[in-house]
Amino acid sequence: METNFLDLHQRPFDSAAQGLCGSLRTILFQIPESVKEKAQEIRLRANRPVAVYTGKETYFVKEQGRLTQRFDRTLPIVSPQEILDSFHHCCSYSVYSHQNEIKNGFITLSGGHRVGLCGTAVISNGSIGSLRDISSINIRIARQVYGCASAVLQAVGKNLREGVLIAGAPASGKTTILRDMARQLSSGLCGDVRKVAVVDERGELAGTYRGVPQNDLGPCCDVLDGYPKGEGILQAIRSLSPEFIICDELGGLADVEAAAQGLNAGVGMISSVHAGNVRELLRRQQAVSLLHTGAFGYVVLLEGSREPGRVAEVYKAGELLAQGSGNSVADRGRDHSGICTVA
């Protein structure tokens, strides 16, 4: 019986596992639902057992999908051929069409799941041109968590048009919150219905499949799928008249310049950066450059991978910049959820 794609999309773990070769996905489909519901990553390493990470626990996969938290050398292992077959399956058997993603170390599956790749770099003209001899694969499972952005929206309130930059370590829930912000804004769940444009360079926010977003971004959201972020922001401003533009992981010079253009056009910018704490954020010149554009009035800092999606603090960008490099910001009236309220 053929598996229905939309049915898989309702079950994120199975949707992510569908990207692997047949022998591996058959085993993974059998693991307990209680683990599937909290799994964050599926990791394959050549000649090592399959590992499933929940953020707090690591499970090794045995026959028939049985699990153990204790490693021993009798566990079934992933063969190099299964790694290769899974890599080709993730690429829909067209490696060439995914070269731009592969040289950056990842592929995005339908549904927004990111497949991280590890292997031997092929250097061309001093930079990575591709990968060969893939030795490990990490699938980060994309999930829709309805309402997870409510804390951010409530904390920033009517000041949302001043722009929000979400900072967090890897797997802290940045993309999940951005996705829910798009849905709530374009559905009118936090006030009036807003026109939202999502620039989805890597396909993680909308999970577009054959031109149709698989994730729920609300009824008034336009998706620029596959656009480089800088170009996509400018395209949205020129052609879509959005009230908000949402994209993830800004950082390059073109992204900084495009964010400034968004500010000049009166568009509210919402995006994310990698930074596990304020000190790390202020040490990253690209993040500081984004704040200096004035396009982001607020910075939301997330707790981390052990509590993905949980807000640790909300800061005014101007206050952070005034701190200089790395000095901590004084606590300012936390509420019971750990959110620093803003005026």
What does the pLDDT read at residue 162?
Answer: 96
Q: What is the pLDDT of residue 305?
A: 77
pTM above 0.85, yes or no: no
Res. 6: pLDDT tops 90: no
Amino acid at 237: I
Tell me phi and psi for residue 244, to 5 degrees: -135, 140
Task: Please give the average per-residue pLDDT across 331-343, as a whole number.
Answer: 40
Residue 155 phi/psi, 5° resolution? -65, -40
**pLDDT higher than threshold 50 for residue 342:** no
The full set of domains in the chain, from first to last, is: 5-140 (no CATH), 150-322 (3.40.50.300)
| Of residues 5 and 172, more confidently modeled | 172
Name the β-bridge partners of 165.
Answer: 271, 299
Burial 184-211 (b: 16+ CB within 10 A, else e): bbbbebbeeebbbbbbbbbbbbbbbbee
Query: What is the tens place of the pLDDT at every residue in 98-146?
Result: 888 888 888 888 888 889 999 999 888 888 888 899 999 999 998 888 9
User: Contact 302/149 with Cβ under 8 angstroms?
Assistant: no
Number of H helices, E strands in the chain: 13, 16
pLDDT digits (tens, 9 = 90+) for 44-71: 999 999 999 998 899 999 999 999 999 9
Residue 242 has pLDDT above 70, yes or no: yes
Averaged pLDDT score across all residues of the chain = 88
| Sign of torsion over alpha carbons 6, 10, 15, 16 | positive
**pLDDT at residue 282 in the model:** 92
Extract the tokens encoding 34.
């209680």
State mean pLDDT over 89-102: 88
Q: For residues 167 and 275, give the distance between their C-alpha atoms in angstroms, rounded to a whole number.
A: 5
- Secondary element (H or E) of residue 117: strand 114-124
Q: How far apart are CA 317 and CA 297, in angstroms?
A: 5
Q: What is the predicted pLDDT for the residue at 328?
A: 47
Q: Which two tokens stand for residue 150?
A: 């409510």
In terms of C-beta distances under 8 Å and separation of at least 24 residues, what long-range contacts does 228-233 make, across chains too? 228/201, 228/254, 229/199, 229/201, 229/254, 229/255, 229/258, 230/254, 230/255, 230/257, 230/258, 231/258, 232/199, 232/200, 232/201, 233/199, 233/258, 233/259, 233/261, 233/262
DSSP-assigned beta bridge partners for residue 241: none
> Which helix (H) or strand (E) element contains residue 151?
helix 150-156
| pLDDT given at position 10 | 57
- Residue 292 CA, chain-centre distance (Å), reads 24
- pLDDT bracket for residue 324 (50, 70, 90): low
pLDDT at 338: 41
State the pLDDT at residue 88: 95
Q: What integer pLDDT is reported at residue 336 of this predicted model?
A: 35
Q: Under 8 Å CB-to-CB from 139, ≥6 apart: which residues?
A: 16, 17, 19, 20, 41, 42, 43, 109, 113, 114, 115, 116
140 beta partners: 41, 114
Q: Report the pLDDT averaged over residues 289-295.
A: 94
Summarised one tens digit per residue, pLDDT across range 149-198 is 999 999 898 899 999 999 999 889 999 999 999 999 999 998 999 999 99
Who's near 113: CB < 8 A, 6+ residues apart?
12, 15, 16, 19, 139, 140, 141, 142, 207
Task: Give the whole-angstrom CA distance, residue 76 versus residue 97.
Answer: 33
Question: Between 198 and 331, whose confidence is greater?
Answer: 198
Q: How confident is the model at residue 30 (pLDDT cuts 50, 70, 90)?
A: very high
pLDDT at 335: 41
